[in-house]
Structure 1
């Protein structure tokens, strides 16, 4: 799993590769500092090539952690792999970039 900011001072992180049980711990270690340094942020998920239950758990944890910290975290640019898994688990509305709940931290 690769995580990188789009630009050096950007709040947008691009995730690419697998987000699975084999990569989720490394991905979490890379994301934690970013969450601590940015009061807002965006995760671009278009480069995800494989997503399993552990990856979904990480996304749910990130969403809840951001909410508790008052961080605005947007999950954007879902690729077909992410869309397929979210639809299968009926979580599409929770992570849909166009939904009211997609911007975590904007909730009351």
Structure 2
């Protein structure tokens, strides 16, 4: 249930123009200080995960590993995406709340850094 809500919020953020996707845009947004939340697909490469983990730790942006590239892509109307950045604090808070619910249920491995 919470997973569906996360994908729904991601879709809403995309339609509202409060989401950027793709490694280059995500990295640029974090470094500019506009990122409120970063989501990296669980099936992303180890290099991608490491790069975003280090960058988000340095810039103090919450990061979660959630879903698969195809699921994240479909949520925003694309083929697949390994990384997403939410730009709206309200939507980021809503997504983070759902991701923490999933983590507490133990139904998924979700890691966070802040």
TM-score, normalised relative to structure 2: 0.31
- By percentage of residues, which structure has more strand? 1
Which structure shows the bigger proportion of residues in helix conformation? 2
Scaled by the length of structure 1, the TM-score of the pair is 0.32
The answer to which structure, 1 or 2, has the higher relative contact order (CA under 8 A, 6+ apart) is 2
